[in-house]
Amino acid sequence: MGRATFYEDRNFQGRSYECSSDCPDISSYMSRCQSCRVQSGCFMVYERPNYMGNQYFMKRGEYSDYQSMMGMSDGFRSCRMIPMHRGNFRMRIYERENFGGQIMELMDDCDSIQDRYRMSDCQSAQVMDGHWLMFEQPHFRGRMMYMRPGEYRSFKDMGMGAKGMRFMSMRRITDIC
């Protein structure tokens, strides 16, 4: 079970809210969130309510200033706890929306789909096993998106804020969550 404490101001100041599950709208507990301590588990935090907008992965540790870390001037507005996964990891990525075009199956991290698979783009995916992070740039850089088991027919409609966002690398979430 994960547990995190969110604070209204930087450096763990101001009102706080302790969380041990998904929270679609933190503003119902505090006006903003600028710092956090993750006591256990892993969380994805989102810049807008209802798990929308830019995302950031947090594991156990202290995060004293979101603005300098993530460029989120107002902190974040929602969070999702990432459950611990034991077992295999498996995901299919597709070159086009609606599972079209070239298809590749991953069971481990991929630092560049272009280098490994000669695949220029990834616009849809099916996650069969495990929890994954997808990154906008090769070598696990740039904006990220959390993927749990399920079908993702189009990344354009996932509330990332940038309509033609492409994913070029993928990493399994293997941290002790």
Residue 168 and residue 95 share a domain: yes
Residue 131 lies in a domain: yes
Mean pLDDT over residues 79-85, rounded?
Answer: 93
Residue 152 lies in a domain: yes
pLDDT of residue 175: 73
Tally of domains in the chain = 2
Residue 71 and residue 15 share a domain: yes
pLDDT tens, position by position, 40-50: 999 999 988 99
Residue 68 and residue 102 share a domain: no
- Segments forming the whole domain that contains residue 165: 90-172
- Write the secondary structure of the chain as one string of H (helix), E (strand) and C (coil): CCEEEEEEEHHHEEEEEEECCCECCHHHCCCCECEEEEEECEEEEEEECCCEEEEEEECCEEECCHHHHHCCCCECCEEEEECCCCCCCEEEEEEEHHHEEEEEEECCCECCHHHHHCCCCCCEEEEEECCEEEEEECCCEEEEEEECCEEECCHHHCCCCCCCCCCCEEEECCCCC
Residue 101 lies in a domain: yes
Residue 73 has pLDDT above 80, yes or no: no
> What's the whole-model pTM score?
0.88
Q: Which of 82, 112, 147 is the last residue of a domain?
A: 82
Residue 177 lies in a domain: no
